[in-house]
Amino acid sequence: MHAWDDETNLFAHSVIGYAIERLRLPKPPHWGAHPAGELNAAIEHAITAGGAGGLEALRLFRDVLMPACRPMDDPMNLAYVPTAPSVASTMFDLVVSACSIFGGNWESGAGAIAAENQALRWLADLAGFPDTAGGVFVSGGSAANLSALVTARNVWTATHGRPERLTVAATEEVHASVRAATRVMGVDVLPVHTDDHGRMTGPALHNALHDHERDGVFAVVATGGTTNAGAIDDLDAIADICTDHGLWLHVDGAYGLAALCSDIARSRFHGIERADSFGVDPHKWLFAPYDSAALVYRDPRPAADTHAQHGAYLDAVDRDEWNPADYAYHLSRRARGLPLWFGLVTYGTQAYTQAVDVSIRNARAFADEVARRPGFELLLEPQLSVVLFAADGWTNEQYLLWSRQRAREGRYLVVPTSWKGRPCLRICLVNPTTELSALTAILDDLATFDPASPAGAPAPADPINPW
Ligand SMILES: Cc1ncc(COP(=O)(O)O)c(C=O)c1O
C-alpha cells in the first residue's frame, strides 16, 4: 500500500489525468442520482480480500459512481447554492491531500497555517476587522455557525451566569444550520420578523427583544445573504442593538459575504465591521472546492478559551503560536483554507472581485428581464445573486413538473421555492461562466412549456430522482 513501483506510477498518473479531464471537459448534463439498488449492485464486489487494483477502482469511480453525482459546478446548476471552484484551487486541493499536513496546531502545520491565516486576513480586512482578529477554516457554514455560537454562549455565561433557558435571536429566514446549532446546544431561538425584503431590521430586533423576557438572550445571528432570497440584514442597526444589550453578533455569510470583495455590493454589508464573528464559505462563492468555510472572530481569545482541547498528550506541544484547532469544535483538521490561498496567490484578488461581480450583474440583468416580460413577476429586487420570480398562474405542482423535467433532460437545474408563502422559482448564481443568454432562455422555455404536452407530461415514477 505504501510501496512505489511501475504499477503505482501508472495508477498515480492516471488519477491525476482523470482529475485534469474532470476539470477541463464540459460536465455531462445527465449526471445525477441513480437508485441505491443499482449503485449497490454495481459495486457489490468492489471490496475484496485481495484488492482489485487502483485502475479498477478508478474505473468504477469514473464510469459508475461519478456519473451518479450531480455536477455542482455546472454553469447551469442554479439551485441551492452551487459552487464554481477555480482550476488552481482545485488542483492545489490534490496537493493538500498529498502532503498529509496536520492543520490543527502550529507545531505540525506552521507553513500551511501561515498561508491559511493570510487568506483569513484578506477576509478580515474586507470586513474591516482589527489587526487582532483571527479565525480558522472549518468544514462548512454549519460548523462555523455552531462554533461561533458556542463561543458566544461562553462569553455571556462568564458574566451573567447560567439561567434556565438560553436564547439566540434570529429571523425565520436564517439558514437551517443555525436552528440545528441551537438544537445541538440545547438553546432556544427568539424569532425576529423580517421586512418586505426578507431582512432583519433594527426595529424588528428591538421589538423582539422587548417583547421577550430578555434574560437569557446571548447572541443575535444576522445573515449576510440569506440562502432563499439573498437578503442582507441591516447589520449596522443590528450592531447598535447588540452593543446596547451586550449581545454577541454573529453574521452568517456562508453564501453572501463572498460579495465583500465585490465593488458593486461591498457597501451593502455596512456594519459587518462591528460583528463579533462572521462566517463565509469559499466552497460556495469564493471559487474553492469543498469543504472550506472561514470563521473569523473580532477577538479570537474567547474562542480559544471555549474550544481549545487539553490533555497530557496535547499540552506537551508548544502552544504559544496560532493553533487553529483552538478556534472551533474540532482537533484534527485538513488545511482546508489552502486551496483558497492558492487561488488568491495565483489569480490575484481582482480576479475574485471581477468573478463575483459577474454573477451580481447577471442576477440584476436577469431580474430586469423578468420584470420586463409579460407573464412573469419579479418577487424581490436581488440584493446579491439570488433571483426569485414567478410565472403568472403557475402552481407549485407545475413548477415541480417543469423543474424535474428539465433536470432529467440535463438542461438546467432550477428548483422551486416559496417567497412569503407564494410558490416561485429561484436561481442562485455563483459561476462566472453562466451566460446571461442561457438564463433568459429559461424564461422563453417557461413561456412555452405546456404541462399537458408529451414533453411536459409527468415522467414515469422515478424512485430517487426528483431533480
Ligand atoms: C447562509 C448559509 N448559512 C449556512 C449554510 C450551511 O453551510 P454548509 O452547507 O457549508 O454547512 C448555508 C448553505 O447553503 C447557507 O447558505
CB 228, CB 417: distance < 8 Å: yes
In sign, the C-alpha dihedral spanning 355, 361, 363, 366 is negative
Which pLDDT tens digit goes with each residue over 255-291?
999 999 999 999 999 999 999 999 999 999 999 999 9
DSSP-assigned letters across all residues of 8-35: HHHHHHHHHHHHHHHHHSPPPTT-----
Q: Which of 72, 81, 139 for a ligand 1 pocket mutation test, highest count of atoms within 8 Å of Cβ?
A: 81
Question: Which three three-digit cell numbers place residue 225?
Answer: 445573504
For ligand 1, the distance from its centroid to the CA atom of residue 250, given in whole angstroms, is 14
Looking at the fold, whether 203 and 101 belong to one and the same domain comes out as yes
281 CA → ligand 1 middle, Å: 8
- Both 359 and 339 in one domain: the answer is no
Same domain, 368 and 340: no
Neighbouring CB atoms inside 10 A of 46's CB total 14
At residue 465, the pLDDT reads: 52
Ligand 1, atom 14, lies closest to the CA of 81
Category of 47 on φ-ψ map: left (φ > 0), alpha (ψ -120 to 50) or beta: beta
Out of 255, 278, 280, give the residue to mutate to test ligand 1, the one with the largest number of ligand atoms within 8 Å of its CB. Answer: 255
Please tell me the predicted confidence (pLDDT) of residue 459.
54
Assigned domain for 456 exists: no
Say how many domains are in the chain: 3
User: Reduced to 3 states, what is the DSSP secondary structure of residue 435?
Assistant: coil
d(CA 415, CA 400): 7
Contact 149, 168 (CB under 8 A): yes
Which residues make Cβ contacts (< 8 Å) with residue 156, sequence separation at least 6? 166, 218, 219, 246, 247, 248
**291 neighbors 283 (Cβ within 8 angstroms):** yes
Q: Measured between alpha carbons, how far is 442 from 11 in angstroms, rounded to an integer?
A: 42
Q: What is the CATH number of the domain that holds 327?
A: 3.40.640.10
Q: What is the pLDDT of residue 461?
A: 46
Residue 462 lies in a domain: no
Domain contains 443: yes
In the prediction, which pLDDT does 214 show? Answer: 64
Residue 224 resides in a domain: yes
What distances in angstroms separate CA 349 from CA 119, 124, 340, 361, 427, one per listed residue?
11, 14, 11, 18, 26
* Residue 36 and residue 168 share a domain: no
CB 274 within 8 A of CB 249: yes
Q: Which of 311, 331, 346 is the last residue of a domain?
A: 346
User: Is the shortest distance between the CB of 170 and ligand 1 below 6 Å?
Assistant: no
In this structure, is residue 74 part of a structural domain?
A: no
Torsion of CA 289, 124, 185, 79, to 10 degrees: -40
pTM: 0.95
Evaluate: CB of 86 within 6 angstroms of ligand 1: no
Candidate of 281, 330, 430 to mutate for ligand 1, largest count of ligand atoms within 8 Å of Cβ: 281
Residues 198 and 137 reside in one and the same domain: yes
Whether 177 and 299 map to the same domain: the answer is: yes
Q: What is the pLDDT of residue 454?
A: 54
Give every residue of the chain whose pLDDT is below 70, as ranges: 213-214, 452-467
Indicate if 342 and 217 belong to the same structural domain.
Answer: yes
* pLDDT value at residue 313: 87
In this structure, is residue 461 part of a structural domain?
Answer: no
Q: What is the domain extent for residue 138?
A: 92-346
- In this structure, the answer to whether residues 210 and 325 fall within a common structural domain is yes
Which atom of ligand 1 is closest in space to residue 143's alpha carbon? Answer: 11
In the structure grid, which three cell numbers stand for residue 239, read together?
Answer: 450592531
- Any atom of ligand 1 within 6 Å of the Cβ of 177: yes
Q: Is residue 252 part of a domain?
A: yes
CA triplet 177, 284, 189: central angle to 5 degrees? Answer: 15
8 Å CB contact between 175 and 223: yes
- Ligand 1 contacts CB of residue 141 (under 6 A): yes
Residues pairing with 221 in the sheet: 250
Same domain, 339 and 357: no
Task: Tell the residue nearest (CA) to atom 10 of ligand 1.
Answer: 140
Over the stretch 360-417, which tens digit does the pLDDT of each residue have? 999 999 999 999 999 999 999 999 999 999 999 999 999 999 999 999 888 999 999 9
> Of 312, 346, 380, which marks where a domain is finished?
346
Is the CB–ligand 1 distance for residue 293 below 6 Å? yes
Closest ligand 1 atom number to CA of residue 140: 10
334 in the same domain as 355: no
What are the grid coordinates assigned to 169, written together? Answer: 435571536
What is the distance in A from the centroid of ligand 1 to the CA of 424?
21
Ligand 1 binding pocket mutation candidate from 175, 179, 199, 228 (most atoms within 8 A of CB): 175
Q: What pLDDT score does 463 carry?
A: 41
Distance between Cα 25 and ligand 1 center (Å): 28
Q: Are residues 241 and 188 in the same domain?
A: yes
Q: Is residue 1 one of the residues assigned to a domain?
A: no
Q: Is 227 in the pocket of ligand 1 (CB under 6 A)?
A: yes
Q: Separation of 137 CA from ligand 1 center, angstroms?
A: 14
For residues 300 and 430, state if they share a domain: no
Cα gap 420→399, rounded to integer Å = 17
- Cis peptide bond N-terminal to 291, omega within 30: yes
Q: What pLDDT shows up at residue 460?
A: 47
User: Residues 394, 423: contact at Cβ < 8 Å?
Assistant: yes
Task: Provide, for the chain, the percentages of residues in helix, strand and coil under a 3-state DSSP scheme, each rounded to the nearest 5.
Answer: 45, 15, 40
* Residue of 77, 78, 142, 278 with the most ligand 1 atoms within 8 Å of its CB, for mutation: 142
Q: How far is the CA of 376 from the centre of ligand 1 (A)?
A: 29
